[in-house]
Amino acid sequence: MSDDLQKQILELVSKSKTKVGVNEVTKSLDRGIAKLIVIAQDVDPKEIVKHLPDMAKQKGVSIAYVSSKAELGKAAGKNVAASSVAIIDTDPKMLEELIKKLPKVE
């Protein structure tokens, strides 16, 4: 993924209303309020977030990845690292533009 795309993802997270952490992201997907899921690629162990892509796909929610939990947490306004974030409210136009740039997941 390009640095430019990652910056756009983190910028959108910072400007959006979010739910942070695997449990909150899972609940957001269950409740149908998640607009975009962002997952950090440096999560260890990977099993922590392993269910999120399948769940998002079932719900028709796009997924974006960023390289760092620390950066994702900071963008979400937290002082701790975040394995995943659900964007639940944001600028629809910004969201749509970003989703168009994301790689398609099968």
59, 64, 47: which is closest to 10 by C-alpha? 64
Tell me: pLDDT of 105 over 70.
Answer: no
Tens digit of each residue's pLDDT (9 = 90 or more) over 82-92: 999 999 999 99
Q: Domain ranges in the chain?
A: 3-101
> Residues of the chain with pLDDT > 70: what percent?
96
41 close to 69: Cβ distance less than 8 angstroms: no
pLDDT per position as a tens digit, 53-79: 999 999 999 999 999 999 999 999 999
The overall average pLDDT reported for the chain is 94
Instruction: Classify domain 3-101 by CATH number.
Output: 3.30.1330.30
